[in-house]
Structure 1
Amino acid sequence: MSRRRWRIAAIACVLPAAMLLAGCGKKQAEPAVVGQVIAHVGPDDVTQQELDNELRLANVPADKRSDPIVKAALSRIVERKYLVQQAVAAKLDREPTVHLDLLRAREQILAGAFVQRDLSSKMSSVSKNEIDSYIQAHPKQFDQRELFQVDQISFPTPQNVDALATATKDFKSLDQVEAKLNEMNIKFSRGTAALDSATMPPEMLKVLDARKPDDVYFIRSRGSASFFKVTSVDQKPLTADQADEFARRELRVDIGRKGAEDISKAALADAKFEGDYARIMTAAATPAPATEGAATPAAAPASGTEGAAIPGATPATETPAGETQKEQPKN
């Protein structure tokens, strides 16, 4: 083949390839739409995948997705996209505070996704022996589980709650408490509840196990307070299946708590602080100020018991902000 014919053949081969690459580049430049498009909001599309995710975040299972529920979820997406368009048109995304909030939201989502994946990975490796060991190490949560039946008086936390606690510290009955509340013009309700040893913090359980027949306990949180007295205790051991399920949930909590501590230590070890922040971050920790939520027997003060330590009871107190109640085992 002559040099001229070879050059013509080479050009003929290169041109289709160049056209193909140009076509691919053009497609890649277009914004990709993931999932079937089900609606349009101005220039933006709403996909089936977005709707499914909205329903997932709302904890709506597939068999409960009726037309009204789907309509409400899709309406939220449409409104959100519309408002985002208005915000961008107003250049709100360029404002320093909004920009920082967007960065923070992204960080929180990614951090949460990593924590959840790490926790799921660790939980998948939990063995039957580990579950059995946990059950044996916590008898009060399983084969020695108890339900404390209580009589209680509940009310919104008054401004003079400290004075109330002092005035009632020697009381031996809820009738005395009721009289004092009436005297102080504090509105209240009285009823019964059940406290579960399976979900009770160890400090609270220790206090109740050491109770005397006339002990009256006082507990308060940021929004409410209660006096209660144990009237009886029922033995309620968990079955093998219940114990296995509950132990897995408790192990998940423990693994998550330890994982959070490890992440905090690793993050601080990897960080380098500048200026005065180096001093602040390396200073010895000081005891945190006393917070509301301490539960004590009115007749025999006991320190260190958490105010959220009435998990399993019918609503008597609010859980203090930042604390979570354990999920009760299913009876």
Structure 2
Amino acid sequence: MSMVRLSRAGRLAASIALCSIALMGCSKKAEEKADVAKSQIVARLGEDVVTTQELDNEFRVAQVPADKRKDPAVVRQVLGELVSRKYLVRQALDAKLDREPTVLLDLLRARETVLAKAAASREVAKKSSAIVGSDVDAYISSNPMKFANRQVASIEQIVVPTNAASQDVFEATREMKSLDEVAQKLTALGIAHSRSTGALSSADIPADVFDRIRQRQADDIFLLRGQPNSVFFKVNTVETRPLEGEAAARLARQAMQVDLARSEASLASVEAVLAAKYEGDYAEIMKIQAPK
């Protein structure tokens, strides 16, 4: 009888020991996970945290090169902006702004925009992966002004923030014969601008624009409007600088990917219109016009 009790007691002690070992193992794993989680946190704002994954994503969105992501000045700027956004988000949530109808619609739109971009990017990436060397060669051959006959114009320019100047301002400078006149007009109107030298390549701007550059008169002043800046410029010289080899192939692939993105966006727009069923007055407004 006493032997049986001792055996049971031994088994109980062994079980307790095994449980202790298991608990120690679980505790150690939990501590390891906690250490990993702690190492992934770069900042805390009350109950909110900023993780290394979020910071890496900010670098990606801001297109910060990999070799600059440890630069203290870059980290300070990007992380500071991320922390500021997190802080304002917490204030918005505490004020229950996420329940307001317009905010809800904006959040829905932001989600749809991200998902739509992801879907389009996936299709472009899939088709881009099918581009082979012969496709690149064919593109280079069919676009001589971008490659074999590429021309580069050396220019003097005045850069103006587009939003700072009205259409009237651009119209007022149309007949001016020098950049000095343009600069004087902008200064008189109190419009910020900067003056410098630069270059324009036939590979980067529309063919009709570069044709005008080649047919220019000595005192012609050109205007390229865009966002965020517009540029007044005068052409000094134009020379042929062929683009060849790996540099040409790289540019050709990039251009082909841009064309694919545009084509994909156009195709998706057509498919969406065909798939949608419009209601009420919108059915007539959105009715597809048959070609004449």
Report the TM-score, using the length of structure 2 for normalisation. Answer: 0.68
Quote how far apart the aligned CAs of 1:252 are.
0.8
Contact in 2 for aligned 1:146/1:235 (Cα 8 Å): yes
**Superposed displacement of residue 125, structure 1:** 0.7
Structure 1 counterpart SS, 2:283: helix
Q: What does residue 265 of structure 2 align with?
A: 260
Q: Identify the residue that residue 200 of structure 1 maps to in structure 2.
A: 205
- Matched with 1:135 is 140
Corresponding position of 1:99: 104
2:37 and 2:114 map into 1 onto residues whose CA distance is 25
Please point out which of 57, 60, 63 is paired with 2:61: 57
**Which 5+ residue runs of structure 2 have no aligned equivalent?**
1-33
Q: Aligned partners of 1:164, 1:137: CA distance in 2, in Å?
A: 37
Q: How many residues are paired up?
A: 243
Give the one of 211, 215, 220 matched to 1:216.
Answer: 220
Aligned residues of 1:36 and 1:49 also touching (Cα < 8 A): no
**Residues 36 and 58 of structure 1, relative CA distance in 2, 3 Å threshold:** farther
Is residue 152–residue 200 contact of structure 2 (8 Å, CA) maintained in 1? yes
Structure 1 segment 1-331 matched on structure 2, within 5 A: 36-37=37-38, 38=41, 40-64=44-68, 65-66=70-71, 69-70=74-75, 73-151=78-156, 157=165, 159-165=168-174, 167-168=175-176, 174=177, 178=180, 186=188, 192-209=197-214, 211=215, 213-214=217-218, 216-219=220-223, 221=225, 224=230, 226-228=232-234, 230-282=235-287
What letter matches 1:36 in structure 2? A
- Taking the aligned partners of 2:46 and 2:143, their CA distance within structure 1 comes to 58
2:220 maps to a residue whose letter is: V
How far 1:213 moved relative to its partner? 4.5
CA RMSD for the aligned pairs?
3.5
Length-normalised TM-score, structure 1: 0.61
The unaligned stretches of length 5 or more in structure 1 are 1-32, 169-173, 285-331
Report the CA distance between 1:178 and its aligned residue: 4.5
Match in the other structure for 1:288: none
- Shift in alpha-carbon separation, 1:191–1:56, aligned structure 2, 3 A: closer
Q: State the alpha-carbon separation in 2 of the partners of residues 217 and 104 from structure 1.
A: 42
Q: Looking at secondary structure, tell me which structure has more helix per residue.
A: 2
- Percent of residue pairs bearing the same amino acid type: 39
- C-alpha change, 1:90 and 1:250, in structure 2 (3 Å) is same
Give the 3-state SS of the residue equivalent to 1:36 in structure 2.
helix
- Show CA shifts across 1:192-219 (max 9, x none): 432211112021123234x154461432
Q: Return the letter of the residue paired with 1:216.
A: D
255-264 vs 141-150, greater mean Cα deviation: 141-150
